[in-house]
């Protein structure tokens, strides 16, 4: 799995009294030693430095995120850093910020305030800041994710490293020794200059070691350790593996960088390449560097600043060994733990395997045996031995409980599978794999299934089956009508479709799970569809509104000028309520005939002679009409009036205007507004809508002369 970790060391400055920390901040102190420490009493005097100096550290990290998966390796890094600085490097003061406590404000409180004043009070001090957690890079900007980050590239939920770099540059001149270790994907973008030359520890120095290049990922590998690859190799190096140039009892920044660069590149197949840079501001080179003392061997010579040699002699911690077993007598197949803690030894082995100075392992010995812990320091060897007696017994497996609670669920729900076994060494659950010999597990099955548990020991095997039933919840896909509002007397179609429904009702009457019904409600009514499956009920409601057809009312139908000069125009205006459609008819001015008029509107007309206009409006239940005449004056040159021309055009001895040529009836759909009829004096008939109704969408109408 690839993880992103950030481990760095830096200094800040913030106005908080270092000697007067509030009770709210005291909880962050893992160690606060006011006495002279190992750095002051043992190391600085050996380097010819008489000024007081101390070792300070702030350990920070985020392993638990509100919206991201748990970052277990980050938690491991924090634990291992704390243990190393406390037990092996013997730092004087250690502050720990973790998870939600990792904020920019908390960094400033401790780094710009508390530790700045400490460094000013103890000018020959060293400071170590470590951070482990998620991070990302965007262009040339690098970010550290806080615990409240919403996603892996959330800038609002992160701390921009570029805002820290100016503070680091300012602090580099204040600290005697400062080391900046950054372990994150693309972390190489933080460096802007390279490391240069071998440095003598007596001089001031400020450096950074990044875990990878600008476009590289940082990794966690189980075979390397429980923490990040970078930090696992850092701890190996400072414990002595990096003490090569020369092997003198101290590990400098250069030695640590060389060791970590080689080791990390090797285990990651050259996909992660650490780098080192000088952090002194204004392009100045560091004359010295941060260094660690090898806690396992102190009788070493180191080079002094003037070329002479200094011997850091003796073991400042004293030598001690503790080695315990959790149980010295066990039954075959039982597990025991071996725990050891040593101090002052160069190298330790447990059963001929090299181990750290402290640790714990779990094992299941198959037979009685002795465990041997051997440690060496300064040519001396100390050995401790613990014996465990393994009793061979043949025990029959008993599965006392294996079942679901509840054993019947709906799809998407979660159930708990619990089991309790006796005398089992291992248990397996089909579809999942190896499980604990007793426990509880939440399962969200997608279908009904039989689960089988198999438990074994050295002499017995036992199986048991339990069934979980998964039921499908009924759902209503749709419940709708072709119209939610109808006129009284009309019919409406209601349709519905359901999924996994065993029974359904509409307003208490049983219906099929899917279907269609035609109804003719007389009043507005609410229809409720209820479907049930295995006691699980779903419902949906539908309202059909029934209204009476409105009465058609022509509020106004008029002309702006009812008498106009020949060749002039006027405007017809109308205002209608309750109609579905309106039409304008004129036999005299056929160019003005128009259907599908709006209920409120106007129309410009230019009759050539006196013309009659009729507005006809209707709905499905009734109709109204209104007429008006527009007169046309003779022209000034005395031409014959258009009205006389119109009279001359009428056919004599024919049926007069208003004569019914075809009575009211169902004459088919879509009648023409006017048609030719030579028996009428005008030679035309028009459609007159009658009360009543025929087939849906077909009105009753008559033809009359006009």
Q: 213 and 249 in one domain? A: yes
Q: 346 and 282 in one domain? A: no
Residue 260 has φ and ψ, to the nearest 5°, of: -65, -40
Helical residues (DSSP H) of 395-541, grouped into ranges: none
Q: Is it the case that residue 309 has pLDDT exceeding 70?
A: no
pLDDT class for 304, splitting at 50, 70, 90? very low
pLDDT class for 492, splitting at 50, 70, 90? very high
Q: What confidence score (pLDDT) does residue 673 get?
A: 86
Q: What angle do CA 543, 545, 548 make, to 5 degrees?
A: 170
Q: 259 and 377 in one domain? A: no
Lowest mean pLDDT across 125-134, 162-171, 305-314, 580-589 = 305-314
Residue 53: CATH number of its domain: 3.40.50.1460
Residue 372: CATH number of its domain: 2.60.40.10
459-486 confidence digits (pLDDT tens): 789 999 999 999 988 999 999 999 999 8
Q: Where are the beta strands (DSSP E) in 534-659?
A: 536-547, 553-559, 563-565, 570-577, 581-585, 600-605, 611-618, 623-633
Cβ contact 653:623 at 8 Å = no
What domain range includes position 402? 398-471
> What six digits make up the tokens of 92?
């004087």
234-288 confidence digits (pLDDT tens): 888 888 888 876 666 778 888 888 888 888 888 888 888 888 877 766 667 777 7
409-434 confidence digits (pLDDT tens): 998 899 999 999 998 999 999 888 99
Residue carrying the six token digits 């840079």: 277
373-421 confidence digits (pLDDT tens): 999 887 778 888 999 998 876 678 999 999 999 999 998 899 999 999 9
20-74 confidence digits (pLDDT tens): 567 778 889 988 776 666 656 666 565 555 555 788 888 999 989 998 888 888 8
Q: Is it the case that residue 213 has pLDDT exceeding 80?
A: no
Q: What confidence score (pLDDT) does residue 15 get?
A: 43
Work out the mean pLDDT of the chain and round it to a whole number.
Answer: 80
Q: What confidence score (pLDDT) does residue 638 get?
A: 45
Q: 435 and 530 in one domain? A: no
Q: 479 and 460 in one domain? A: no
CA distance 405 to 420: 14
Segment 488-497 shows an average pLDDT of 91
435-447 confidence digits (pLDDT tens): 999 999 999 998 8
- 321 forms beta bridges with 342
pLDDT class for 553, splitting at 50, 70, 90? very high
pLDDT class for 680, splitting at 50, 70, 90? confident
In the listed set 642, 670, 697, which residue is the last one of a domain according to the structure?
Answer: 642
Segment 125-129 shows an average pLDDT of 84
Q: 361 and 246 in one domain? A: no
Q: What confidence score (pLDDT) does residue 34 get?
A: 65
Q: 222 and 284 in one domain? A: yes
In the listed set 471, 499, 518, which residue is the last one of a domain according to the structure?
Answer: 471
Judging by DSSP bridges, how do beta strands 553-559 and 570-577 pair with one another?
antiparallel
In the listed set 624, 642, 660, which residue is the last one of a domain according to the structure?
Answer: 642
Q: Does residue 368 lie in a domain region?
A: yes
pTM over the 0.85 mark: no
Q: 529 and 453 in one domain? A: no
% pLDDT > 90, the chain: 29
Q: Does residue 288 lie in a domain region?
A: yes
Q: What confidence score (pLDDT) does residue 647 get?
A: 42
Q: Does residue 502 lie in a domain region?
A: yes
Q: What confidence score (pLDDT) does residue 274 get?
A: 84
Q: Does residue 5 lie in a domain region?
A: no
Q: Is it the case that residue 191 has pLDDT exceeding 60?
A: no
> How many CB atoms within 10 Å of residue 300?
17
Q: 182 and 51 in one domain? A: yes
> What six digits make up the tokens of 70?
């748990």
Question: What are the respective helix, strand and coil percentages of the chain, to the nearest 5?
Answer: 15, 40, 45
CA distance 244 to 483: 88
Q: 419 and 274 in one domain? A: no
Cβ contact 407:468 at 8 Å = yes
Segment 125-152 shows an average pLDDT of 85
Q: Is it the case that residue 633 has pLDDT exceeding 50?
A: yes
Q: 80 and 113 in one domain? A: yes
Q: What confidence score (pLDDT) does residue 290 get?
A: 79
Q: Is it the case that residue 9 has pLDDT exceeding 60?
A: no
Q: How many domains does the chain have?
A: 6
Q: Does residue 220 lie in a domain region?
A: yes
% pLDDT > 70, the chain: 81
> Rg for the chain (alpha carbons), in Å?
48
Cβ contact 590:611 at 8 Å = no
Cβ contact 615:554 at 8 Å = yes
Q: Does residue 306 lie in a domain region?
A: yes
Q: What confidence score (pLDDT) does residue 648 get?
A: 43
Judging by DSSP bridges, how do beta strands 126-132 and 177-182 pair with one another?
parallel
Q: Does residue 14 lie in a domain region?
A: no
Judging by DSSP bridges, how do beta strands 336-343 and 398-405 pair with one another?
unpaired
Residue of higher predicted confidence among 184 and 532: 532
Tell whether omega for the bond before 174 is within 30 degrees of 0, i.e. cis.
no
Q: Does residue 3 lie in a domain region?
A: no
287-299 confidence digits (pLDDT tens): 777 777 765 444 4
Q: What confidence score (pLDDT) does residue 367 get?
A: 87
Q: 433 and 297 in one domain? A: no
Q: What confidence score (pLDDT) does residue 301 get?
A: 45
């Amino acid at each position: 799995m690839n993880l992103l970790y950030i481990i760095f060391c830096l200094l800040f400055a913030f106005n908080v009294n270092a000697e007067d920390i509030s009770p709210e901040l005291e909880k962050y102190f893992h160690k606060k030693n006011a006495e002279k420490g190992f750095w002051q009493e043992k190391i600085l005097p050996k380097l010819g430095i008489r000024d007081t100096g101390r070792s300070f550290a702030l350990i920070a990290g985020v392993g638990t995120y509100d919206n991201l998966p748990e970052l277990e390796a980050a938690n491991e890094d924090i634990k291992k850093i704390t243990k190393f600085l406390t037990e092996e490097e013997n730092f004087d003061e250690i502050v720990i910020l973790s998870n939600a406590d990792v904020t920019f404000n908390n960094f400033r409180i401790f780094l710009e305030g508390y530790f700045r004043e400490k460094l000013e009070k103890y000018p020959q001090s060293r400071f170590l800041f470590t951070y482990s957690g998620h991070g990302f890079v965007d262009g040339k900007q690098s970010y550290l994710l806080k615990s409240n980050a919403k996603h892996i590239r959330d800038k609002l939920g992160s701390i921009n490293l570029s805002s820290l770099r100016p503070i680091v540059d300012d602090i580099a001149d204040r600290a005697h020794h400062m080391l900046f270790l950054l372990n994150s994907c693309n972390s190489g973008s933080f460096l802007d200059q390279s490391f240069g030359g071998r440095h003598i520890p007596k001089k001031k120095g400020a450096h950074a070691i990044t875990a990878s290049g600008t476009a590289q990922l940082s990794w966690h590998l189980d075979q390397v350790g429980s923490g990040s690859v970078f930090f696992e190799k850092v701890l190996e190096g400072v414990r002595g593996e990096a003490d090569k140039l020369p092997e003198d009892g101290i590990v400098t920044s250069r030695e640590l960088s060389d060791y970590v660069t080689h080791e990390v590149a090797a285990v990651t197949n050259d996909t992660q390449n650490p780098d080192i840079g000088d952090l002194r501001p204004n392009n100045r080179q560091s004359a010295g560097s941060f260094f660690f003392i090898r806690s396992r061997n102190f009788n070493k010579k180191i080079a002094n600043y003037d070329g002479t040699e200094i011997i850091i002699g003796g073991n400042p911690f004293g030598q001690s060994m503790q080695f315990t077993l959790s149980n010295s007598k066990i039954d075959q197949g039982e597990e025991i733990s071996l725990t050891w803690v040593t101090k002052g030894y160069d190298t330790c082995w447990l059963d001929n395997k090299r181990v750290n100075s402290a640790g714990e392992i779990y094992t299941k010995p198959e037979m009685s045996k002795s465990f041997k812990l051997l440690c060496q320091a300064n040519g001396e060897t100390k050995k401790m031995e613990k014996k465990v007696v393994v009793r061979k017994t043949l025990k029959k497996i008993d599965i006392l409980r294996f079942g679901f609670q509840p054993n019947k669920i709906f799809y998407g729900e979660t159930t708990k599978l619990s089991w309790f076994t006796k005398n089992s060494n291992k248990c397996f659950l089909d579809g999942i794999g190896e499980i604990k010999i007793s426990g509880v597990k939440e399962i969200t099955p997608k279908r009904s299934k039989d689960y089988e548990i198999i438990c074994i020991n050295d002499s017995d095997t036992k199986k048991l089956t339990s069934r979980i039933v998964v039921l499908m919840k009924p759902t209503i896909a749709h419940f709708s009508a072709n119209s939610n509002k109808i006129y009284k007397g009309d019919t409406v179609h209601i349709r519905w479709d359901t999924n996994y429904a065993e029974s359904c009702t509409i307003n208490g009457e049983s219906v099929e799970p899917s279907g269609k019904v035609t109804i003719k409600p007389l009043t507005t009514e609410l229809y409720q569809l209820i479907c049930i499956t295995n006691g699980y009920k779903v419902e949906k409601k539908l309202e059909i509104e029934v209204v009476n057809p409105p009465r058609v009312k022509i509020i106004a139908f008029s002309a702006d000028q009812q008498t106009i000069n020949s060749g002039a125009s006027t405007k017809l205006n109308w205002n209608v309520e309750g109609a579905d459609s309106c039409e304008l008819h004129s036999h005299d001015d056929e160019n003005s005939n128009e259907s599908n008029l709006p209920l409120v509107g106007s129309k410009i007309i230019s009759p050539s002679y006196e013309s009659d206009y009729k507005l006809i409006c209707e709905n499905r239940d009734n109709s109204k009409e209104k007429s008006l005449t527009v007169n046309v004056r003779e022209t000034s040159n005395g031409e014959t009036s258009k009205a006389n021309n119109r009279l001359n055009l009428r056919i004599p001895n024919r049926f007069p205007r208003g004569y019914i040529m075809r009575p009211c009836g169902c004459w088919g759909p879509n009648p023409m507004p006017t048609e030719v009829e030579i028996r009428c004096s005008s030679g035309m008939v028009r459609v007159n809508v009658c009360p009543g109704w025929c087939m849906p969408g077909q009105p009753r109408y008559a033809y009359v002369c006009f």
